[in-house]
Amino acid sequence: MSQFRIKFMPENRVIEADQGTSLLNAAAKAGIMIKSGCGGKGTCGACKVDVLSGDPLVNGTGNLTPEQLAKGIRLACKTLVQGDMTIEVPPESRLQEHQVLMGDVQKGLLQESEHDLLDKFGRHSLAIKQRISLSIPTLTENSSDWARLSIELRRVLKTGDKPIHMPLSILKHLPESLRKANWDVSITMTDTEAGLTITHIEQGNDVPPYGLAIDIGTTTVVVYLINLLTGEIVDQQGTYNKQAKYGDDVITRIVYAVENEQNLIEIRDAVVETVNGLLDKILARQSLSNMNIASAMVAGNTTMTQLFLGVDPRYIRLEPYIPTMTNVPSFPAREIGLHMLPEAMVHCYPSVASYVGGDIVAGTLVTDLANGEDIILFIDIGTNGEIVLGNQDWLVACACSAGPSFEGGGITFGMRAMPGAIERIIIDPETLDVSLKVINNQTPVGICGSGLVDCIAKLLSAGIIDRAGNFQLGHKSGSQRLRATTDDKEFVLAWAYQAGGEKDVVITENDVKNVIRAKGAIYAGIRSLLNMVAVDIEMISRIVIAGGFGNYLNIHDSVQIGLLPDLEPERFEFIGNASVKGARLALLSQNAWREAEELGRKMTYVELSVGVTYMDEYMAALFLPHTDMSLFPSFQ
Ligand code: FES
């Protein structure tokens, strides 16, 4: 097959690509991640690139306008290599690293509550390392190498009857390992209730064992490197999930994965490659090797967990939505090719159901939701809103489909929280003049999830929209910012000259309706759970919000638009990336890990689509803040 040189600008990066490769895949090969909302079907228009030179085969142009086509703009997913080319990938088509939510920790810094939780559960990590000196065998002291080693380990570790296992791959090299080290060896082991399993034998040293806490999100992947002796987060790195090229959401990826066996392998490899890429960067920075990594704990939603393991996910999306497993057996890293000790164990958080996964169980653990009488509500807001409600006696969970609005999808100028995104808005109710706060103080190019919530609250306060989200074109100000277009109504947030582009940055009536549907879905999920267990909103003592969007949410605005319940601001708490925090906790504490497994079993999953209550609640929530204003006394 012919190969061609593809140059990507402005990086000036050149790769070789086979004839027929899509520019989307060629860019991924060059390490440039292009947005691909529809998974390469040519329908979302997210993957626009500029063909600067070359004559590719164009298989589809989607909704590109004749002007865009004349300028050389193409869809990367529908444009195929058939000669040398130069491509420019514009910023708006790129997934960018700095959008990844690392958690709210800085290096080595943890919230007080996390230390408390670790103290509460007790530190006993899932892998240990022990240095021992063995006596040299003689004609009279002639026990086998394995007996010599295991007896000394038992003595030093005081293991009692706990079994010690040695995989064949380690046993094969035992004689050489001991003698080369002159009987002074460091032994790395997996430590679980079932026993100790030796994963590495090396020359005696005092380098601590390290573990990985891994959050596999649909959009992003985050890895923490943890010192298993001290519990310290030594380093961390996050990036986009390389599966993004197969689609933005779990459903599109499932559809791709189940098309044939090769696709499933490909999509599994994409996420393993993502984790390995992050790990390699961390190891290089810390001057460590993969042989120092003794354990890994993974938290992800149910689909991400199954895809990470290469387990067929098709029944997750088909009624009655059955996952292959909720509890995942731990397995050696070599089975999926993670860059760590080949025999070191990889553990995955249990799921509850197809749409309440290990990331939510991890969040529930970190929230310490199941350990007191107080009723706590945990919400993870993303494309899916996952909600857990309960206390030490009972736990209920549900998932509601909020759609992609809060992550920038389906909104005319929607974008993720990255430089150039509008995150705060002030609107003068008399003149409708606008002041904006833009991430990194850049020129505004779009609006992120928290900006949208803020914007809709301000549109409502200024009388630009009514409680149903309808634009009020006859606003008393007579401002030109409020206007009708041929197919919609819109409000100008930034004029084209301010945005440095050709178009005004606007929010349309359709955008507002999309956000109302998204917030309505989440609020209806909360209300449905409350109704189910006959708990009044006032009885909730804490509302813990997780997820990238939640981290920057303005509580007042969120309540004003009816996304969150009308409670005192003091009851709300942001937890950041709860998934990776939960992974760290379980990695460092066997008790926490047991509790996590127990939580997964204890949670009652409520399938909202089968109850009538949810639809009623949803319809009632399609107003700002709600049809029943008695639920929002602060805004009556
Ligand atoms: Fe190319 Fe959607 S149009 S990925």
Q: Is the CB of 23 under 6 A from ligand 1?
A: no
Separation of alpha carbons 528 and 510, rounded Å: 26
pLDDT of residue 548: 66
Dig out the tokens for 610 from the structure: 């089968």
Q: How confident is the model at residue 156 (pLDDT cuts 50, 70, 90)?
A: very high
Calculate mean pLDDT across residues 595-619.
90
pLDDT of residue 31: 76
ipTM above 0.90, yes or no: yes
Q: Is the pLDDT of residue 114 over 50?
A: yes
Q: Is the pLDDT of residue 108 over 80?
A: no
Please report the atom of ligand 1 found closest to the CA of residue 62. Answer: 3
Q: Is the CB of 47 under 6 A from ligand 1?
A: yes
Q: How confident is the model at residue 111 (pLDDT cuts 50, 70, 90)?
A: low
Q: Ligand 1 centroid vs 78 CA: distance in angstroms?
A: 8
Whose CA is closest to 509, among 491, 486, 492, 493? 491
Q: Is the pLDDT of residue 476 over 50?
A: yes
Whole-structure pTM value: 0.84
Q: How confident is the model at residue 102 (pLDDT cuts 50, 70, 90)?
A: low
Q: Is the CB of 72 under 6 A from ligand 1?
A: no
Calculate mean pLDDT across residues 32-58.
85
One-letter-per-residue 3-state SS of 530-555: HHHCCCCHHHEEEEEEECCCHHHCCH
Separation of alpha carbons 575 and 558, rounded Å: 17
- 73 near 49, Cβ under 8 Å? yes
pLDDT of residue 106: 39
- 561 near 635, Cβ under 8 Å? no
Overall residue count recorded for the chain in this entry: 636
Q: Ligand 1 centroid vs 544 CA: distance in angstroms?
A: 35
Q: Is the pLDDT of residue 551 over 80?
A: no
- 300 near 356, Cβ under 8 Å? no
Tens-place pLDDT, residues 295-310:
999 999 999 999 999 9
Residue nearest to atom 3 of ligand 1 (CA): 42
Please report the atom of ligand 1 found closest to the CA of residue 36. Answer: 4
Fill in the DSSP letter of residue 517. H
Q: How confident is the model at residue 408 (pLDDT cuts 50, 70, 90)?
A: confident
Place of tokens 């098709």: 314
Please report the atom of ligand 1 found closest to the CA of residue 43. Answer: 3
Give the CB-side neighbour count of residue 484, counting CA atoms within 13 A.
7
Query: How much is the mean pLDDT over the chain?
Result: 91
Dig out the tokens for 273 from the structure: 């490659």
Written as one letter, the residue type at 435 is S
Q: Is the pLDDT of residue 98 over 60?
A: no
Whose CA is closest to 251, among 122, 401, 97? 401
Separation of alpha carbons 344 and 336, rounded Å: 12
* CB < 8 Å & 24+ apart, contacts of 591-596: 591/121, 591/122, 591/124, 592/117, 592/118, 592/121, 592/365, 593/126, 593/297, 593/347, 594/193, 595/121, 595/365, 595/370, 596/349, 596/350, 596/361, 596/362, 596/365
Q: Is the CB of 42 under 6 A from ligand 1?
A: yes
pLDDT of residue 100: 54
pLDDT of residue 107: 37
Q: Is the CB of 36 under 6 A from ligand 1?
A: yes
Q: Ligand 1 centroid vs 487 CA: distance in angstroms?
A: 24
